[in-house]
Every structure is written in C-alpha cells, then in structure tokens.
Structure 1
Amino acid sequence: MLTRVSRQRRTAIQQLSLFEQPPEALVEAATAPDDSPALAQSLVQVHAEAATIAARLPPGLRLGTSSWSFPGWAGIVYARRQSVKDLAYSGLAEYAQHPLLTTVGIDRSFYAPVPDGDYLRYARQLPPGFLCVTKAPHAVMAQVFMAPGLPEDASGPTVTPNPDFLSVAAFEAMHARPLLTSFQEHAGPVLLEMPPVGPAHRMPLPAFLDRLDSFLAAAPRGLRYAVELRERSYLTPAYAEVLRAHGAAHAYTYWRSMPLPGAQAAVVPVTQAPFALVRLSLKPGRAYEADKARFAPFDKIVEPDPQMRAQVVEITCAAAAAGIPAFVLVNNKAEGSSPRTVQELAALCAVAWERRTAPHAR
C-alpha cells in the first residue's frame, strides 16, 4: 500500500511529466541544422515589436507565462534552441529580457518545495523588481489525496482526506519560509490553487469558507495571496466576502471546469482586492493532454479565443483604472503558445487603455 508521502510523490512526478517534451522531439532538435543566426534575428524583431507595445500598456500591468522551459520558444523568447533542462536551469535570464514578459509563474512549487539554492539561482537571473507568481504546495491545497488516474468522483481506500488541507503551519514550512528567506525581492502573489475534488469528496461550501477564512487570517504576513478555484460551486458572493475581508484576490482563471474570467469577475469584483491576477490555463471543456499534444511545440497560436481575450482586457484595464496592479499568466494550453498570446493580449490592452484614457473619453 502506498503511504501518503509516496502517493504524493508519485502524483507529483506524473504532473511534472506534463511539462516535458517527448524524448524524440529532443533528439530531433539535437540533430537539426544550426539555425541560431535566423532565430537570433527573429528574436530581435520580436523584441522590437514587443517594446513598442510595452510602452503603451496600462500602468501596473505585468504579463508573463506559467513557466519558461520550452525549446519551441526559440526565436520567440530565446535566441537559440536549448533543452528543457538547460532552460529550466538558466533560461530565466533571457526570458526576463523580453519587453513584455515582466512576470513568470514558478509552478514547480506546487509539486514539491523549492530548495533555497534554486530560489537564489533564480534571483541571480532576474532584474530588480521582477516579481514571480509562486504556487502554494499541493500538499496543503488538496482537500483529498487520490491515486493517479482516478476520476474526481472515485471513492474507497485510494482516496484519503488531507490532514494538512489549508494548514498554516505546513504552508509556512513548505513555502512561505523559503520564499521569504531566499526570494523575497522577487516574491509576487502566492497562488492558492484549489485542485478539483468532485461532489463525492468536496467539502461543503460553509466548511470550505470557514477553513479558507482561518487560513487567510493566520497566513504569514509579507506575502500577497490569490485563490484559484477549480470548483465552480464555491464561486459565490460568500466566497468573495471572505477574500475581501483579508485583502486576498481571486485568480480569474481560464480552466476547463470554470466559467470564463468575465463571469468570475461578475461574482468577485476586480476592485475589491489590492491587486488582480488572471491565469489562462485551458479552454473550458477541453482536456489538458489532448491540447498539449495538439499545440506542441508551442511556437504558434493554434486556437485563438477572442471572447477570452476581450474579458482579460476588460479586467486588466479595470484594475489599471482603479490604480491596482495586475498580473496575467498564460499557459501554452490556452491558445497554443503562451508568449504569442501574451503579445496579442498586450496589443489589445494597449489599444483599449488608449481609448479609455483619451481626452475625449473623459
């Protein structure tokens, strides 16, 4: 029988594999002709266009991607082809030179604590003032632990309650303390992503809100918190009130089982928190693995979503109008290539902000 620790580790390994390219793709990249000069020239053009857009963005808006170690971004973010391993280790320095990539997600902290040495290495690659969004650990965010591959409504001995669900002590030891010790200068919002549970194991709304209220009341100071729901039944005015009481934000998420960001903003107003966070992960109704295979190697937009883009622009412009900083993180599975989606969103935000602030619009 798997222990709770080994079960968590197995789940983490399976989750981490979602971000890796198949080995054959890496072999092809290693044996391909050297196209570095063309890629470097392409990146020069990308940076020039991005810089023009960046100068017109609403104040306080930070755009970025959910992670950064994708070889398919050569010529878009990176000047040459590199392996997943090399990009994960040292790619942040080049990533942060992109005029529109002014934040990034550190998703790995969801699966296991990030060692102090890794935080220090990231910090050495980043310019002053560059803020990262880190995920609180799954070991604290999951209501239950389930054996890999089980449906959300599964039951039996393979599903066990998590005794550390929203435990402040566990969160502080696994995430807050290392973050504040080794990465404080670059610590942006901490994302409290609540994994989907399903009706068979879902905590009733009042109990969930009580637990969330207690966590936010006692959470370590010096950090900003944003809650990402993946259970739409929790998206209620009562939930919004818990966030408001503690100055926490709602992460307006683009996710398979949640309404679009605009509908979420109708329940949790953008202006009720001291910052805004948007996370574009996966189109509602879609499957993660299927879109990963369809969109790889993530070098172009495959399926643009104008409705989603318009809602993100509205949220970010509303935040800017209220003097609230906003963070937008994009996953490759949103439209096919997160840095290209970032550029499209930035161009739309720039136009919308100019219209909103033009003299005749006042």
Structure 2
Amino acid sequence: MQDDLFGTDAALPQPSSAPPRKAKGVLPAPATETLRVLAQSLPLSLRMGVSTWSYPGWEGLVWDGAYDASVLSRTGLTALSQHPLMRTVCVDRSFWRPLSVEQYAKMAAQVPPDFRFVVKCPNVVTDAMVRSEEGKGQQRNRAFLNASLAVEQFVTPALQGLGDKLGVLVYQLSPLPWDLLCKSQQLFDQLGLVLAATRQALQHAPHVIVAVEVRDPLLLEDGFAQVLKAHNATMCLGLHGKMPPIEQQLPILRKLWPSPFVCRWNLNHCFGPFGYADAQEKHQPFNELRTPDPHTRSVLASTIRGITQAGQTAFVTISNDAEGCAPQSIQSLAEQLQRLNS
C-alpha cells in the first residue's frame, strides 16, 4: 500500500466527482505544515518543479479543486508557483513550436519574482529530421542547429518575455540519424556555433544557464563535454528510456565540474525508449506514484546534495511519466534529501 506522501495531515487525493470549474482563476491546494517544513529544509540553490502543468488529476495536490485542463494551461501557473516545493517549471510546449515574447510574458506575469523557468528550444532547430505527426523522420531538416534561427526563435523571445525569471535554456537534441552520429566531431562543431551565438545573445543575462540534452548514448563522450565547457554550457541530465541510467551519465557531469546542475526526469526506464503512451495509460489521472523508481530517486538525491553543498545551482524538473505523479515525485525526492541532510 502506498504511503501518504503528504504526511498524516493530508489524505491521498481522490479525483473529484464534481464537474470542473469554469472560473477564470485557479486556486492552490492548501499547503500543509509538513510541506512547509520540508521546503525549509532544502537548499536555496535547488529549484524543483514539474514538466508542464495542465493536469486536473493534481486536485488536492496542487489545485484546490477540479479544473478543466484548458483553464489550468492558461492560468494555473500562479497556483502552481505557490506550492512550497515548486520553484521552477519546464515549458515543454516551446519544443513543438516557437513561442512569442508576449506568450512568455504572460507566463512570467503569473509567478512571483523568485520563480524561474526552464525553456526548451523549438525542434525546428534541434531535430535533424522533419517528422510526420507520428514522429517518423521524413527528410533532413535544413535548419538543424542553425545558430541564427536559435537566437531569433528561442533565445531572444524567451529572454525578452521572461526577463529575470528565465533560469535555463535547454537544447534537447532529438535522436540523430546514424550518419550524423558517425561524424560526432562535426556535430559538436556545429553545436559549438549555436552555443557561442546563445552566449552572445545572453551577454547581459549571465545568470541564465545554457544546457544541452541528448537522446543518443553515443554522444556521451569527451567531445561533448569539451564543447559544453568551451561555451560555458552544461549537460542537461536526461532521465529517459532512450538514455542510460543516471549513474552511467554522471561521468560527463564530472568532466564539466564545476558547473550548475540541470536534470529533466522524463520517463521511467521500465517503459523502454518509446513508452510514453504506455506510461500515460498506466499513470492517468496522475494523482499517485504508480511506478515508483526509488533507485533513480536515491542517486538523484545524492547528486543534488553533493552539487548544492559545493555551492552550485540545481534545476530539477519531473514529468508525470517518471513515476506517475510529478508533484509526489518531487515531494519524495525532497524527503530523500531531508534524510540525507539529517
């Protein structure tokens, strides 16, 4: 039987039988004393958050009641940012299409000054293939790793719209065709041009972290670490079925030390490299940990502890597909950190 992750003063939330609210605003779930104390035990240099936020199943965990997903998508950020453990969020939808300055500004207006955003680069820049709706590569993408396009459609709008609330820019490279993987140095040279242009565009915003996430294990090599280090960037630790377990990715981070820590826990390894649909089916309505992964959580907690104790910043965002309920995964990770520090 699953333990109550919110302590003895809060029961496991159940889906409401009431119809979703049609109100424009979204109210946060009341924060328990357990949550407030837990948040105070965490290092200030650690920011944890979810990957997207439009989930009605978080009723009682993040939201005070039942809301339609469309309402949560538009106005749920304010309530989310009031959760004691949520100090960042990953904007995933920017991966599918570029967002405007105005869209970013609307997000920034919903959160307090200390909140920070992790934003993904549009796949028109980071995917070497033009893909069908089913995800199958159809032809080569001529805009792949185009430095000018990256600045124009990603860096500049995010920076102008989010301002000081921009925390991390993530370039997630989609799985690459074999001929590009065989020419890794050429790939890293091209990536270096993107990172150089990014840093130039961020010259007045040195607080922004630039991170690169890969989906091909073959890219976890010295050349990858070298290009990141040369351009003051770091690796985004991608916990996903396409990548090795967390402990097998840490050697690259050691090569980059000292550097900030960025991690996106996207998909439980038990579902394999193409298991998003299976994870979604098993985990809905995303209100409990149905596929707990204590090993990954333990190694991640130890890594965060070591990095933050050394004075480095850490951003960790978690998807429902990691264990079934991102807010509860975040609380479990916080509890693990609390035990390590006690």
Q: Are 1:59 and 2:38 an aligned pair?
A: no
CA contact (8 A) 1:189 1:224 kept: yes
Q: Return the TM-score normalized by structure 2.
A: 0.86
- Give 1:256 deviation, angstroms: 0.7
SS at match of 1:145: strand
CA contact (8 A) 2:235 2:262 kept: yes
For residues 1-362 of structure 1, the aligned pairs below 5 Å read 32-33=17-18, 43-44=29-30, 46-149=31-134, 159-199=138-178, 202=181, 204-219=183-198, 220-221=201-202, 222=205, 223-269=208-254, 272-284=257-269, 286=271, 287-354=275-342
The whole-number CA distance in structure 2 between the counterparts of 1:233 and 1:265 is: 14
CA contact (8 A) 2:75 2:110 kept: yes
CA contact (8 A) 1:216 1:246 kept: yes
User: Which shifted more, 222-231 or 92-101?
Assistant: 222-231
Residues 238/35 of structure 1: CA separation in 2 closer, same or farther (3 Å cut):
closer
Partner AA of 1:329 in structure 2: T
Q: Return the TM-score normalized by structure 1.
A: 0.82
Give aligned pairs, total: 315
Partner AA of 2:210 in structure 1: Y
The whole-number CA distance in structure 2 between the counterparts of 1:34 and 1:106 is: 28
- Give 1:43 deviation, angstroms: 3.4
CA contact (8 A) 1:144 1:159 kept: yes
Residues 271/150 of structure 1: CA separation in 2 closer, same or farther (3 Å cut):
closer
Partner AA of 1:99 in structure 2: P
Structure 2: unaligned runs, 5 residues or longer:
1-14
CA contact (8 A) 1:253 1:260 kept: no
SS at match of 2:154: helix
Residues 203/106 of structure 1: CA separation in 2 closer, same or farther (3 Å cut):
farther
CA contact (8 A) 1:144 1:201 kept: no
Residues 35/82 of structure 1: CA separation in 2 closer, same or farther (3 Å cut):
closer
Partner AA of 1:163 in structure 2: R
Deviations 1:279-335 (A, max 9, x none): 100122521101101101100000111110011112211211210010110000000
- Higher helix fraction (1 or 2): 1
CA contact (8 A) 1:248 1:273 kept: no
RMSD: 2.3
CA contact (8 A) 2:229 2:256 kept: no
User: Which shifted more, 253-262 or 203-212?
Assistant: 203-212
CA contact (8 A) 2:148 2:197 kept: no
The whole-number CA distance in structure 2 between the counterparts of 1:288 and 1:214 is: 32
Deviations 1:125-178 (A, max 9, x none): 110121010001100000111323365xxxxxx622111111111011111111
The whole-number CA distance in structure 2 between the counterparts of 1:50 and 1:124 is: 25
User: Which shifted more, 257-266 or 290-299?
Assistant: 257-266
The whole-number CA distance in structure 2 between the counterparts of 1:334 and 1:314 is: 18
- Give 1:277 deviation, angstroms: 0.6
Partner AA of 1:291 in structure 2: A
Structure 1: unaligned runs, 5 residues or longer:
1-28, 152-157, 355-362
CA contact (8 A) 2:125 2:150 kept: yes
Partner AA of 2:165 in structure 1: H
| Structure 1 consecutive aligned stretches of length 4 or more whose deviation exceeds 6 Å | none
SS at match of 1:121: helix
The whole-number CA distance in structure 2 between the counterparts of 1:171 and 1:353 is: 40
- Give 1:118 deviation, angstroms: 2.0
The whole-number CA distance in structure 1 between the counterparts of 2:331 and 2:67 is: 22
- Give 1:200 deviation, angstroms: 6.1
- Give 1:95 deviation, angstroms: 0.3
